């Protein structure tokens, strides 16, 4: 009995039907948080003494970087669950996490580059943090490529899961890079233990933006996973019923 929820969670149909009512709420929450956060960040947070207004890029750069890393964990853990328990759904989540993670890593790199120009006087530097983030982007792209490289669905999933797990080595390197190689990138703004290096008037909009990006990530992952579920389960009766409803114009 205790394991029943776990097996249900592994059922693509159960997941597809359960997450349906969450989508609208999650979309609304994401929209409110991102609109409030951006307005606060762009217009109401005080100007930074040294960097001026260019620092306002932090409000998208830090949340995007957070999710780029958190998304990698989600992808690797899903891959591991798929490998260990041989479930279908975790592999679908893993595949869905790859394009979202790649896009967010791209956003982190591009906003960092745009921020670097007025602050450091350069678009790009082979600094430890930047280089390890670029490696993260290549890992995500590698997963996307592996997914398409095999004819067998099962082989593609297993190979991707193994690459994702091997790539987790890069994550602590990214976190620690600003401390180990103190070069150009500034140290972490937010700390889990101790005081953050940021005043509360600048911190609160950042927290709103991080919450907004987390909600956005959850929404995007659900949407990608649902589309993937339909494609992989297209031979099942319940998907055929959904198509039937769609054909009648119900959906």
Partner 1 sequence: MSFQFESVASFIAMNGHGSFVWAAYGITFAVLAYLLISPLLQQRQFFRTQKRLMRIARK
| Binding interface with partner 1 (CB under 8 A) | 27, 34, 38, 42-47, 52-54, 56-57, 60-61, 64, 96, 99-100, 103-104, 106-107, 110-111, 114-115, 117-118, 201, 216, 219-220, 223-224, 226-227, 230-231, 234, 239-240, 242-244, 246-247, 251
Q: Taking the complex as a whole, how short is the minimal distance between the CB of residue 115 and partner 1, in angstroms? A: 7
230: number of Cβ within 10 Å: 15
Residues 80 and 161 sit within 8 Å (Cβ to Cβ):
yes
64: number of Cβ within 10 Å: 24
Closest CB to partner 1 among residues 29, 57: 57
Q: Taking the complex as a whole, how short is the minimal distance between the CB of residue 189 and partner 1, in angstroms? A: 16
Residues 6+ apart with CB under 8 A from 144: 98, 99, 102
Q: Taking the complex as a whole, how short is the minimal distance between the CB of residue 173 and partner 1, in angstroms? A: 25
Closest CB to partner 1 among residues 64, 161: 64
Q: Taking the complex as a whole, how short is the minimal distance between the CB of residue 169 and partner 1, in angstroms? A: 26
Look up residue 187 and give its DSSP letter: P
Q: Taking the complex as a whole, how short is the minimal distance between the CB of residue 54 and partner 1, in angstroms? A: 4
Tokens of 55: 């620092």
Closest CB to partner 1 among residues 67, 128: 67
Question: How many Å apart are CA 101 and CA 68, to the nearest integer?
Answer: 5
Residues 187 and 177 sit within 8 Å (Cβ to Cβ):
no
């Amino acid at each position: 009995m205790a394991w029943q929820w776990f097996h249900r969670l592994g059922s693509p149909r159960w997941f597809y039907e359960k997450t349906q009512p969450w989508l609208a709420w999650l979309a609304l929450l994401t929209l409110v948080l991102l609109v409030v956060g951006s307005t606060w960040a762009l217009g109401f947070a005080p100007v930074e003494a040294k960097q001026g207004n260019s620092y306002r890029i932090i409000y998208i750069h830090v949340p995007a970087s957070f999710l780029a890393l958190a998304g990698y964990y989600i992808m690797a853990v899903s891959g591991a669950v798929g490998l260990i328990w041989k479930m279908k759904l975790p592999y679908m989540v893993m595949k869905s996490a790859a394009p979202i993670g790649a896009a967010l890593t791209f956003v982190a790199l591009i906003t960092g580059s745009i921020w670097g120009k007025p602050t450091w006087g350069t678009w790009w530097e082979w600094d430890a943090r930047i280089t390890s983030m670029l490696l993260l982007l290549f890992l995500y792209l590698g997963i996307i490529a592996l997914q398409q490289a095999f004819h067998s669905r099962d082989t593609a999933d297993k190979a991707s899961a193994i690459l994702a797990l091997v790539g987790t080595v890069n994550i602590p390197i990214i976190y620690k890079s600003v401390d180990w190689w103190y070069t150009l990138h500034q140290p972490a703004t937010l700390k889990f233990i101790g005081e953050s290096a940021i005043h509360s008037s600048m911190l609160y909009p950042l927290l709103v933006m991080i919450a907004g990006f987390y909600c956005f990530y959850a929404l995007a992952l659900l949407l990608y996973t649902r589309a993937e579920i339909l494609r992989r389960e297209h031979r099942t009766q319940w998907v055929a019923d959904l198509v039937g409803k769609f054909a009648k114009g119900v959906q």
